[in-house]
Structure formats: structure tokens, C-alpha cells
Amino acid sequence: MLPKPTNLPYWGKRNYLHSSQILSDLENLLPALKMDNCIRLNGKFRTFLHTQGEFFFIDTSSVSTPHAAFVLQDKDNKISIGLRPIQELVTDSIYDDENEIIQHGTTNTKDQTAVINDYNCNRFFAVLVALNKKLIYSILPVENDTAWILAQIDLETPFKHTKRTARIECRVASVIAERMVKTTIYVDGKSIGSTVFTKVDKP
């Protein structure tokens, strides 16, 4: 099945592929690893991806660093997948507004939490990233030339959450030098994992 190129548009006015697009694209990547049975997803993003990418099995003997790396696990398998840029350009864009998809989300800067109950479950990853960013920006606003981006995500049963709408809550777990923020993710009151966001210069 792999290598497998992405075929994704830009979202909104971005000139790079969004991390949540790439996470969603993983869902149909490997029929051999039934995504409904995926019990854990760990993902790390290194840089912005301005072109289409290509998913590939990571060769542990290789010293090259992929744009992003993912570990997908079910009860029988653990698979390591990388994402690297290819020369194919992104030629399409679609309307997207992060604030719109989480318009029913609320933040509490005192408790450092954000909650949403009403959203499109098909866009679970986009909602999760946007809700975290809304929380982080409310606590740690940035200058115009910098932004908070997803650097790492670790989730239990990640693709089951794209099938139904449930209460999502993000809580700030730690802040390091105002440049890195770790949050804990809860679905229906149960902790399902965490995210790490870093502050970077805008692409």
C-alpha cells in the first residue's frame, strides 16, 4: 500500500497543509490496520508542509527525518509511518474557518480549559486542534508574525471519535517558557490523550 501520496487542498488562506488534514488522511491509509480498531495514535510534526506529501513506512535504519511521523497501534500491530514532501504542488483550496467550526466552544482562562459539545464529528481532528489553539491563544497571545502550531499528539482510540459527537474538553497541563504548551484531552470526562503546541514564526 505504501508509499501513498496525499491529495489535499489548502484550507482557507493557508499556504501549507494543516496538521488535522494529515491526521484525518491517516484514517483510510492502511486497510490492514483497521482504523476502527486502532487503540492508539502518536504523531509528531516537524515543519510546515507546503506541497503534497507522501506517506511511507519508516525505515528505522534511516537517518533522514520525515516532515511528520506517526505510530498507529491496534491490539496486534504497531506501525510506524512517515510523511515527506514531494514535488507535486497543492493546486486547490477550500473555504475553512477555524473559529466557525468551534463557534459553540467556550474557554475559561482562569481554569485554563476549553469545552465544546456541538460540532461536526467528521471534523474531530480539526475541532480538537482549533479548540486547543483557541484556549492557548486566550492565555498566551502572540505577535502577528508568530503562531501556535500542533507539534505532537497522542490519542487513545482516535478514529472512533470521528463517528459520534461527544463533549470535548482541553486542559492546560504545563507551559514551558511561554513557547511550548501541553494540554490534556478529555472526551465525555475521560482522558484520552494529550497535545503539545509550540510557538513558531509564521510560514
One domain for residues 131 and 69: no
Domain for residue 90, yes or no?
A: no
Q: Which of 56, 85, 114 is the last residue of a domain?
A: 85
Number of domains the chain is built from = 2
- Give percent of the chain above pLDDT 70: 94
One domain for residues 28 and 66: yes
One domain for residues 54 and 150: no
Mean pLDDT taken over the chain:
92
One domain for residues 122 and 184: yes
Domain for residue 188, yes or no?
A: yes
Helix (H) or strand (E) holding 76: none
**Mean pLDDT value across residues 121-129:** 96
Q: Which of 59, 85, 111 is the last residue of a domain?
A: 85
Which of the residue ranges 23-37, 58-72, 145-159, 187-201 would you say has the lowest mean pLDDT?
23-37
Question: Model-level pTM?
Answer: 0.93
Domain for residue 91, yes or no?
A: no
Domain for residue 180, yes or no?
A: yes
Model confidence at 29, in pLDDT bands (50, 70, 90)? Answer: confident
Q: Which of 85, 116, 150 is the last residue of a domain?
A: 85
Q: Residue 191 belongs to a domain with what CATH number?
A: 3.10.129
Model confidence at 63, in pLDDT bands (50, 70, 90)? Answer: low
Alpha helices in 17-171 (DSSP H): 19-25, 98-101, 124-139
**Positive or negative: CA dihedral 82, 168, 137, 14:** positive
One domain for residues 147 and 63: no
The amino acid at 153: I
Domain for residue 175, yes or no?
A: yes
Q: Measured at the alpha carbon of residue 84, what is the angle toward residues 82 and 87, in degrees to the nearest 5?
A: 155
CB 120 within 8 A of CB 155: no
One domain for residues 135 and 194: yes
Q: How far is CA 60 from CA 33, 55, 74, in A?
A: 20, 15, 20
Task: List the domain range (segments joined by +) for residue 181.
Answer: 97-201
Which residues contact residue 94 at a Cβ distance below 8 angstroms, ignoring those fewer than 6 apart? Answer: 9, 10, 11, 12
* Distance separating alpha carbons of residues 149 and 81, to the nearest angstrom: 21
- DSSP per residue, 20-42: HHHHHHGGGT-TTS-GGG--EEE
Q: Write down the residue that cell numbers 514551558 correspond to.
A: 176
Which of the residue ranges 56-60, 93-97, 99-103 would you say has the lowest mean pLDDT?
56-60
